[in-house]
Structure 1
Amino acid sequence: MEHTVERVFTKEILHNAASGFGIEVDEKPVGDFENYIFKGHTKDGIARVLRLTHSSHRQKNEIEAELTFLKYVRENGANAAGSLLSLNGNLVEEHIASDGTSFFAAMFEWADGKLVDRTNPNVWNDDLMFKLGKTLGKLHALTVNYPVTSARESWDEEAYLQVMLNHEELGPHTKVLLEEMSHYPRQTNSYGLIHSDLHFHNFFVNDEGEITAFDFDDLQYNYFISDIAIVLYYTAWGSKKSYEENSAYAKKQLAILRKGYETEFVLEEEWYSRIPAFLKCRDHVLYYVLKMKYEGKEEHSQRVNELCEQIRERIVNGKTIVDLG
């Protein structure tokens, strides 16, 4: 979390927010990257998630649009942790900080299961990849007929990409990529509201191997294939295997992911040939995010610098994190 946000976040704001949703929360967050995430419980002991978002990150109408969409897909059978109402019957409650900025509170179902261990073949396997594909396919099928909202941005309006356009070294590469992708058609059968961040820290897997997706904070209008590309991107993220090994693995995973996806929704073949552009786009976004969130924080600096340098080299050389060719 940025220092400016850390300075104005207080225990009073946290407990007032929890009270508004009728829960008690642990004061230690389970996440604090772009939002503060806390685990809580109702009086009956039912686990819940409380999220607090600073107004520098999202505005109230943006969050309401996210939660309304999440409520819709959850009620229509998607494997997602649904949004829940406050005691006042609202999806979002606002709490004013000492500097006049706001924290927006929202509550969600607690997803059953736990984070997946990618080193455990009994969990991270073909069956899981099939179910990930099926989960995305269901979300996209529900997106097709969902009413358009102006409260969620399009992928090319994303602040991180806009800042990257002005980067002295990498900006020209960002510009070329965005110009290429701007020519892709925006049609309802391939473009709409998507999760856009379904990496392995944004879903739980229970003992039966079932998936529950969460963290729809990055919900945006984007091409459906982007969600598929992001799953593939993170099959190689942080891997110590060779580029060739990661690429071979990603090709295999794509075939399985697609089988699961097509049980719920079918994309035209040409979209799969465009995956490399979306892998590159992820690199551009992550480069800025890592720099913004961690630069200057000594406990992260070495590893973050290594990752940023790997990304920078791929960008300037026109490479992707894996080769699907």
Structure 2
Amino acid sequence: MELAVEKVYSKEILYTAAELFEVNVEEKPLGDFENYLYKAKMSNGQNCVLRITHSSHRNEQEILAELSFLKYVCDNGANAAAPYFSKQGNLVELLPASDGTTFFASLFEWANGSHVKIDDPSIWNDELFYVWGKTIGKLHALTKNYPHTSNRKKWDEEQYVIDLQNDSAYGEYAKRLTHQLNSSEQTNDTYGLIHSDLHHWNFFYDKGVITAFDFDDLQYNYFVHDLAMVLYYSKLSIKGTEEEKNQFYEHQLSVLRKGYETENKLDERWYDSIPLFMQKRDLELYQVLTVKLDGKEMSPSTKSLYDTVKQRIESAML
């Protein structure tokens, strides 16, 4: 979380949010990178997740658009952690901060299962990859029938993309890549409101079922982007030589595609475009890490990731 947000956040805000949703909350966050996330418990003992978002990250309309879409896909058969209403019947509750800004609270189902471990071959295997593809395909099939909302941005309207295009080192490269990606047609069969970040840390897996969560980055983008993000973070996380990672990429894509196409179809050329979307993700990850960690000391693992991403960007620019 940015230092400016940390300075105005407080336990009082956390406990006010918990009261509004009538839950008991654990003080230690599950995560605090872009939102504060907490494990909570309802009066009936059911686990849930309380999320608190600062207005510098999302406004109320953007969050409502996210939660409305999430409720729609859950109501229509997608496997995702659905939002809950507050005791006042709201999906979002407003919490004023001491500096005049606002925090927004929302509550979600607790997904069954757990994160997958990439070093566990009993889980990290073709069965998972197939279900992963199928889960994404289902979301895309549903988004085709969802009304357009002006409260979620197109991918190239996001602030981090705009900032990248003004970056002194990578701006021209970012502009060229954006233009290249947007030269493809945007039709109801290729482009829509998508999760955009369904990597292996954004779902729980249990008995062959994926439950997706963290729709915070919901945006209008090409459908193939969701598949590219699976491959990007999988390849980034697994161990091995570059040749071994490339072999894994080809295999994972083939299995993802089989699962995906049980729910939705894409032309062959979209699969060929995946490396471009992975290059785009390098730029986005560089920008997000730069902003979120400004003024903070990077851990060795984060510094290694940051350096790796920068090196790949600079190699792609040659």
Partner residue of 2:305? Answer: 307
Which residue of the partner structure matches residue 154 of structure 1?
A: 154
Residue 281 of structure 1: aligned partner: 280
- 1:135 matched to 2:135? The reply is yes
Which contiguous aligned blocks of 4+ residues in structure 1 show a shift greater than 2 angstroms? 294-298, 300-306
Alpha-carbon separation, structure 2, partners of 1:14 and 1:312: 36
What is residue 57 of structure 2 aligned with on the other side?
57
Q: Over residues 159-179 of structure 1, what are the superposed CA-to-partner deviations in whole Å (9 max), with x where a residue is unaligned?
A: 111111122111111111011
What is the CA deviation profile of residues 276-317 of structure 1, one whole-angstrom value per residue up to 9, with x for unaligned ones?
A: 11101100100011122224433x343333222221221122
Structure 1: distance between partners of 2:189 and 2:36: 34
Q: Distance in 1 between matches of 2:88 and 2:48?
A: 17
Looking at structure 1, the residues matched to 246 and 293 of structure 2 have their Cα atoms a distance apart, in angstroms, of 28
TM-score when scaled to structure 2?
Answer: 0.97
Distance 1:98 1:223 in 2: 40
* SS of equivalent to 2:237: coil
Q: Distance in 1 between matches of 2:299 and 2:132?
A: 32
- Deviation for aligned residue 1:268: 1.4
Give, in whole Å, the separation in 2 of the partners of 1:67 and 1:77: 16
Match of 1:261 in 2: 260
Scaled by the length of structure 1, what TM-score is found? 0.95
SS at match of 2:49: strand
**Counterparts of 1:84 and 1:267 in 2: how far apart (Å)?**
33
Compute the displacement of 1:209 (Å).
2.5
Mapping 1:29-48, distance limit 5 Å: 29-48=29-48
Give, in whole Å, the separation in 2 of the partners of 1:272 and 1:199: 17
Please give the secondary structure, in 2, of the residue aligned with 1:51: strand
Unaligned runs of 5+ in 2: none
Q: Distance in 2 between matches of 1:133 and 1:105?
A: 31
Rounded to whole Å, the distance in 1 between the matches of 2:121 and 2:37 is 29
Secondary structure (helix, strand or coil) at the match of 2:311 reads: helix
Q: How does 1:178-193 map to 2 (within 5 A)?
A: 178-193=178-193
> CA deviation digits over 1:243-302, x for unaligned, max 9?
11111101000000000001111111111111111101100100011122224433x343
In the aligned structure 2, how far is the partner of 1:291 from the partner of 1:134? Answer: 33
Question: Is contact 2:2–2:294 with CA below 8 Å preserved after alignment?
Answer: no
Identity %: 52
Q: Which residue of 1 aligns with 2:243?
A: 244
**Partner of 1:109 in structure 2?**
109
1:91-144 deviations in Å (ceiling 9; x for gaps): 100000111100000000000111111100001110000000000000000000
**1:294·1:304 contact (CA, 8 Å) conserved in 2?**
no
Whether the 8 Å CA contact 1:294–1:301 is kept in 2: the answer is no
Letter paired with 1:307: L
Q: How many residues align?
A: 317
CA distance in 1, matches of 2:262, 2:238: 29
Equivalent in the alignment of 1:76: 76
Distance (whole Å) between structure 2 residues aligned to residue 247 and residue 294 of structure 1:
30
Q: Where does residue 217 of structure 1 map in the other structure?
A: 216
Render the CA deviation track for 1:144-198: whole Å, top value 9, x for unaligned: 0100000000000111111111221111111110111121111001100000011
* Contact 2:84–2:91 (8 Å) recurs in 1: yes
Counterpart contact for 1:24–1:40, Cα < 8 Å: yes
Name the CA distance, whole Å, in 1 between partners of 2:222 and 2:136: 12
How far apart are the structure 2 equivalents of 1:239 and 1:135? 22
CA contact (8 A) 1:123 1:209 kept: no
CA distance in 2, matches of 1:18, 1:83: 15
Rounded Cα–Cα distance in structure 1 between residues aligned with 2:263 and 2:98: 48
Q: Name the SS for the 2:53 alignment partner.
A: strand
What is the alpha-carbon root mean square deviation over aligned residues? Answer: 1.1
Aligned partner of 1:99 in structure 2 is: 99
The code of the aligned residue for 1:55 comes to S
Q: C-alpha separation between the residues in 2 aligned to 1:296 and 1:95?
A: 26
Q: Kindly provide the CA deviation profile for residues 67-98 of structure 1, in whole angstroms up to 9, marking residues without a partner as x.
A: 00000000101010001111111110000011
1:197 paired with 2:197, answer: yes
- Whether 2:312 is the aligned partner of 1:317: answer no
* Residue identity in the other structure for 2:170: L
Cross-structure match for 1:294: 293
| Structure-2 separation of matches of 1:283 and 1:143 | 26
**Farther off after superposition, 29-38 or 155-164:** 155-164
Partner of 2:120, secondary structure, is coil
SS of 2:211's equivalent in the other structure is strand
Aligned to 2:16: 16
In structure 2, distance between residues paired with 1:45 and 1:211: 23
Partner Cα separation in structure 2 for residue 236 and residue 297 of structure 1: 27
